[in-house]
């Protein structure tokens, strides 16, 4: 392989980003530009074409239209848009002799199970009965694991597999984290899930991006869990940050997991980010981040993430703000909250009538 880095050391280092216009892509590009990198974006050119006019663009498609990448050399490539191993294999094989390092953004969902706490990077990975299946929804985690393996097979010893948990902050299109500061800011009595001490983990996209650029500059390869804060945060602490940042009068009504599930509210879905620390999900909010911290991972204050997320969300069009993409609707929350607050009252009244009779 040619020494791509020899010329790069005399000029700005060169980064190729596969994707770059969605959620984490812009944060990675901003982090690279801030450190003096020359950045090339490869995507279809359809989403946010106005972003980064100063950045070199290559137009194509991950699925069979890679011609725009057949020339050029880069110090590293960051793959933010790989979901099936065939496409990761195609890009990695095409670029392996013209990049020094392949950074693949995977997920902690690549792990086979979460029944233990403090899961390290050596924890068993998810598998699937037929590795040729490309149906992402039911096999998201297993496909991410196969993507990691495809990248490593193409660039052995030169691949960095990044395993984030929930990625949060400004530009997040999922609203999974955003739901909490927005809901708290609305005020009133709200459902707080489980117990106040249930651990949760997430990472600000900007902290993730900063670590990725640092990992490239430090040539850190292998697998890394990118989760934060520095230690798992109780969900009650996050909600208190939301109250203080928003200045709302919100009252937290802690509703046990059993009651929520009985009323068909799903942990991690209807109540995003939070998953009860028990049974098969015991370790989901307690993944080890020691390896990433040892290689430079730093975290901004959670209050800053809450404030910045809320401020960004309020800049969105009114129609986008009116319907969150995650969490409970006001109507559904009110219905479950009324059931929780009214529990047992019916049986008490019936008992009173029997006694009077």
By mean pLDDT, which of 152-161, 236-245, 345-354 is the weakest?
345-354
50 domain-assigned: yes
Summarised one tens digit per residue, pLDDT across range 181-192 is 999 999 999 999
- Assess if residue 2 is contained within a domain: yes
> Residue 210 falls within a domain, yes or no?
no
Query: pLDDT at position 12, please?
Result: 84
Q: What is the tens place of the pLDDT at every residue in 57-116?
A: 999 999 999 999 999 999 999 999 999 999 999 999 999 999 999 999 999 999 999 999
- Percentage of the chain surpassing pLDDT 70? 93
3-state secondary structure of 18: strand
350 has a pLDDT exceeding 60: no
- Cα separation of 15 and 7, whole Å? 14
Pairing of strands 199-204, 228-234: antiparallel
Residue 346's pLDDT band, with cuts at 50, 70 and 90, is: low
CB < 8 Å & 24+ apart, contacts of 137-145? 140/83, 140/107, 140/109, 141/107, 141/109, 141/110, 141/111, 142/110, 143/83, 143/84, 143/85, 144/83, 144/106, 144/107, 144/109, 144/110, 145/106, 145/110
pLDDT of residue 1: 47
Confidence of residue 357 (pLDDT cuts 50, 70, 90): very low
Give pLDDT, residue 344.
74
Q: What is the structure's pLDDT at 239?
A: 98
pLDDT over 80 (residue 11): no
The string of pLDDT tens digits covering residues 276-325 is 999 999 999 999 999 999 999 999 999 999 999 999 999 999 999 999 99
The whole-number average pLDDT for the span 4-19 is 70
Evaluate whether residue 145 is within a structural domain.
yes
Is residue 33, in this structure, part of any structural domain at all? yes
CB atoms within 10 A of CB 355: 7
Q: Is residue 331 part of a domain?
A: no
Say if 103 falls within a structural domain.
Answer: yes
Structural domains in the chain (count): 1
Per-residue pLDDT at 7: 37
* Mean of per-residue pLDDT scores for the chain: 93
Q: Which residues pair with 111 in a beta bridge?
A: 125
pLDDT of residue 241: 98
* CA–CA distance, 84 with 138 (Å, rounded to integer): 12
Tell me, what's the pLDDT at 8?
A: 39
Higher pLDDT pick, 120 / 11: 120
Answer whether 0.75 is exceeded by the pTM. Answer: yes
Give the whole-angstrom CA distance, residue 97 versus residue 119.
34
Of the candidate ranges 2-11, 35-44, 152-161, 256-265, the one whose mean pLDDT is the lowest:
2-11
Range of the domain at 151: 1-164
For residue 112, being part of any structural domain is answered with: yes
Residues 99/73, Cβ–Cβ less than 8 Å: yes
Q: Write out the DSSP string of 175-223.
A: -TTTHHHHHHHH-SEEEEES-TT-EEEEEEHHHHHHHHHHHHHTT--EE
Paired tokens of 56? 């070199």
Q: Looking at residue 87, which CATH number applies to its domain?
A: 3.40.50.720
With a pLDDT cut of 90, the percent of the chain lying above it is 88
pLDDT of residue 356: 40
CA torsion angle for 50, 56, 61, 67 (degrees, to 10)?
150
């Amino acid at each position: 392989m040619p020494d791509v880095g020899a010329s790069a050391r005399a000029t700005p280092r060169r980064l190729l980003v596969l994707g770059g216009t969605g959620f984490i892509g812009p944060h990675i590009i901003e982090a690279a530009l801030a450190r003096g990198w020359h950045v090339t974006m490869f995507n279809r050119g359809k989403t946010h074409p106005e972003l980064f006019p100063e950045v070199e663009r290559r137009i194509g498609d991950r699925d069979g239209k890679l011609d725009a990448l057949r020339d050029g050399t880069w110090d590293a490539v960051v793959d933010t848009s790989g979901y099936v191993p065939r496409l990761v294999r195609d890009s990695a094989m095409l670029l392996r002799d013209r990049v020094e390092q392949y950074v693949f953004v995977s997920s902690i969902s690549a792990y086979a199970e979460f029944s233990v706490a403090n899961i390290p990077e050596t924890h068993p990975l998810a598998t699937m009965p037929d590795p040729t299946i490309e149906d992402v929804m039911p096999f998201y985690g297993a496909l991410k694991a196969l993507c990691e393996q495809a990248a490593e097979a193409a660039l052995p010893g030169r691949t960095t597999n990044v395993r984030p948990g929930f990625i949060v902050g400004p530009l997040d299109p999922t609203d999974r984290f955003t739901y909490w500061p927005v809901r708290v800011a609305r005020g009133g009595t709200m459902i707080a899930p489980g117990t106040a001490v249930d651990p949760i983990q997430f990472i600000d996209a900007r902290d993730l991006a900063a670590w990725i650029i640092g990992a490239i500059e430090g040539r850190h390869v292998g697998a890394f869990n990118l989760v934060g804060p520095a230690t798992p945060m109780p969900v009650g602490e996050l909600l208190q940050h939301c109250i203080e940042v928003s200045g709302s009068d919100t009252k937290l009504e802690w509703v046990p997991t059993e009651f929520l599930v009985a009323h068909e509210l799903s942990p991690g879905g209807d109540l995003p980010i939070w998953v009860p620390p028990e049974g098969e999900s015991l370790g989901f909010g307690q993944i080890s981040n020691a390896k990433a911290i040892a290689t430079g991972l730093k975290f901004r204050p959670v209050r800053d993430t809450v404030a910045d997320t809320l401020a960004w969300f309020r800049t969105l069009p009114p129609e986008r703000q009116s319907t969150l993409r995650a969490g409970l609707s006001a109507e559904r929350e009110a219905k479950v909250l009324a059931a929780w607050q009214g529990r047992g009252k019916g049986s008490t009244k019936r008992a009173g009538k029997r006694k009077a009779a």
